[in-house]
Amino acid sequence: MSEFNEQSTTRDVIAGISLAGKLAMVTGASSGLGVETARTLAAAGATVVMCARDSGKLEAAVAEVRAAVPGAQVETLIMDLADLVSVRAAAAEALSRFPSIQLLINNAGVMACPLMRTAQGFEMQFGTNHVGHFLFTCLLAPALQAGAPGRVVNLSSAGHKFANFNFDDPNYREREYEKWQAYGESKTANVLFSVGLDSRLKSHGVRAFAVHPGVIMTGLARHMDEADFATLSERSPKGEALVFKSVEQGAATSVWAATSPDLEEKGGIYLENCKISDSSVQDSSTGVESYALDTSAAERLWTMSEELVEQAFSFDS
C-alpha cells in the first residue's frame, strides 16, 4: 500500500500511472478541484470529458487544461445537475459520444447555500449533490460496464459527520432549514450512494468510492462568509481551527481513488488523505461515521432515489 497522506498532491499520486486509452468524465469541471482533477488525468494520457452547466466557464477551464497539458485530449459536456431534464439530455449525449467510459468522477457540488430548490423541487444541496449525480451515474451505467474495469468516485466530505440522512423529510418540506445540516445529509447520501452503487456494479468490474477531499478554498465556498467559517471551526472536534489544503492536495484523493492500483478489488468505501478511512472515533475530524456505510440505509436511499427520479435501474447483463 502506497504511503500517501494529507500533504500528498495530484502529482504525487499519479506518478508512474498511464491512463492512455482511457476515458474519464469529471462533473463540476469548470473550477477548483474539477479543473485540477481533469488536468491531472489528461496529463496521464486519458481523454477527459469536462462537464459543467456554464459553457463560458467551462471553455475557460478547458483552455486552462490545454495550456497546462499540451496535446491534452479534452471534450466538453454541458449539464445542470439541478435539473433532471438537463441531466437526462447530457447522459443521452454522453452515451452517444462516449459508449465506453472507464472513470467517472462526480466532483460537482453545492455547499451551505440558503434554502433553494432544484427545477424538480428538491432541496438544492440534496438535489445537486446526490439526486442529479445518482441519475447521471445510473444512466451512464451501460458505458461504464462497457468500459470495465472502471471506477466511480463520488465526492463526499467530512461534513457527513454533521448529520445522518433524513429519510422522513429530505427536501425540508416540513422542518426548519439549516444549511449545514442539509449539507451534512447530502454528503452522507454521497457515501451511501457509493455503497449501493458498488454492490450493484462490482460484478461488472466497476467499483465505487466516496472521497473527502479536505478543506479547500474553491468556488464551492461561494455561499459562505466569515461567520460560516467560524461555524465550521466550532463544529470541528474541540473547536479546532480549520486546516486548509491547496487545490493540488485537495484533488489528490479523487485522483488516487480513480487510479491507484492499491484499490483494485476494493469498493464501497470512504477515502480521505489518499488512504482508506478508519471508522470514526469520538471527537475526531477524520474517519467515516458508521451510519454512512450502513448497507440497509444505502438500499433505502437507492429505492427513494429511484422514486424521486421516477426511474428504476437494473444493471444485470
Point out the residues that are catalytic.
Answer: 183
**CA distance linking residue 83 with residue 301, whole number of Å:** 20
Q: What is each CA distance from 137 to 91, 101, 141, 142, 150, in whole angstroms?
A: 8, 11, 6, 10, 13
Q: What is each CA distance from 215 to 95, 135, 210, 229, in whole angstroms?
A: 33, 27, 16, 11
Closest by CA to 180, choosing from 230, 214, 131, 240, is 230
The residue type at 273: N
Question: Bridge-partner residues for 78, per DSSP?
Answer: 52
Q: Are 66 and 59 in contact (CB under 8 A)?
A: no
**CA distance linking residue 197 with residue 51, whole number of Å:** 21
**CA distance linking residue 189 with residue 195, whole number of Å:** 10
Task: Give the per-residue SS3 of 102-152.
Answer: CEEEECCCCCCCCCCECCCCCEHHHHHHHHHHHHHHHHCHHHHHHCCCEEE
**CA distance linking residue 82 with residue 118, whole number of Å:** 5
Cell 492499491 sits at which residue? 262
